Amino acid sequence: MMYVTLERGKQHLNMDHNLDDVLITAYIGAASEAVKNYLKSASPYEVERDSNDDPILDSSGDPIYVVDSSGDKVVRYAVQAATLLQLGFLYRDRDENSDGAYEMGYLPKPVTALLYPLRDPALR
Domain around 90: 6-118
Q: Which pLDDT band holds residue 97 (cuts at 50, 70, 90)?
A: low
Asked if residue 123 is part of any domain, the answer here is: no
Mean of the pLDDT values across residues 109-115?
94
Q: What are phi and psi of 49, to 5 degrees?
A: -130, 150
Query: How high is the pLDDT of residue 122?
Result: 63
Residue 124 has pLDDT above 60, yes or no: no
Number of domains in the chain: 1
Mean of the pLDDT values across residues 100-111?
77
Q: Which of 51, 38, 52, 110 is nearest to 81 (CA)?
A: 110
